[in-house]
Amino acid sequence: MKKMYFSWGVFLMAGTLMFSACKNEETAVPTPTLYARLGGNSAISAVVDQFIANVAADTRINAFFAAAASDQARLTKLRNNLINQIGEATGGSEKYTGLDMKTAHKGMKITDAHFTALVEDLVASLDKYKVGNTEKTELLTALAAMKGDIVGQ
């Protein structure tokens, strides 16, 4: 009799475990990355092209980009590096393979005013493509972390 009760107990426990394992668990929907919310590849390259145009027209800082502006190969390299950097900073899968910011800006004597001018040009390019305030703030926060490596080098 005891053996029978024990067997029934094991049987019921096994059944409970089996049916509870079949229950549909709600899977969490992953939050899209900032990269995806900005619009992915094509959006980032369009924003970068506009950013380059804005910087080139800004007499406060366009002298820093004179080498890139006068040489198509350097311009292409700058453009590609910007695309890679923004893509990586916003959670894209690809990597930025250019120089680190400190090395890239060494000796340029960039000031806070120059950096601010650059950020204004970037904001203008984001506004042109109607990037939302949330995404804009997230992107600028991610890039603002580089300020220490750019200014004062």
Partner 1 sequence: MKPLYNSLRNLVFGAAGCFVAFVVYANWEKPSLAESLQLKPIELRVFNLVGAITPYDSLRLSEAMLVQKGITAVCINAAQKTLSVTFYPDQTTEKQLMLRLASVKIQAQKVDFSAVQGPQCPIPMQYIDYFTNAKRALCFRN
Binding site for partner 1 (CB under 8 A): 41, 44-46, 49-50, 52-54, 56-60, 62-77, 79-81, 83-84, 87-88, 92-97, 107-108, 124
Cα–Cα nearest to 48, from 104, 87, 93, 74: 87
Helix locations, the chain, DSSP H: 2-21, 34-38, 40-56, 66-70, 72-89, 101-104, 112-128, 133-144, 147-150
Nearer to partner 1, 19 or 107 (CB): 107
Q: Give the residue with the Cβ less far from partner 1, 7 or 76.
A: 76
Spatial distance between the Cα atoms of 34 and 114, rounded to a whole number of angstroms: 26
* Nearer to partner 1 among residue 81 and residue 136 (C-beta): 81
> Taking the mean position of all CA atoms in its chain, how far away is CA 97?
15
Least CB distance from residue 89 to partner 1, whole Å? 11
In the complex, what is the shortest distance from the CB of residue 124 to partner 1, in angstroms, rounded to a whole number?
8
Helix 133-144 to helix 112-128 angle, to the nearest 10 degrees?
150
CB of 123 to partner 1, least distance (A): 13
Q: Which two tokens stand for residue 79?
A: 């453009």
Rounded to the nearest angstrom, the gap between the alpha carbon of residue 135 and the centroid of all alpha carbons in its chain is 10
Q: For the CB of residue 66, give the shortest distance to partner 1 in the complex, in Å.
A: 3
Nearer to partner 1, 12 or 93 (CB): 93
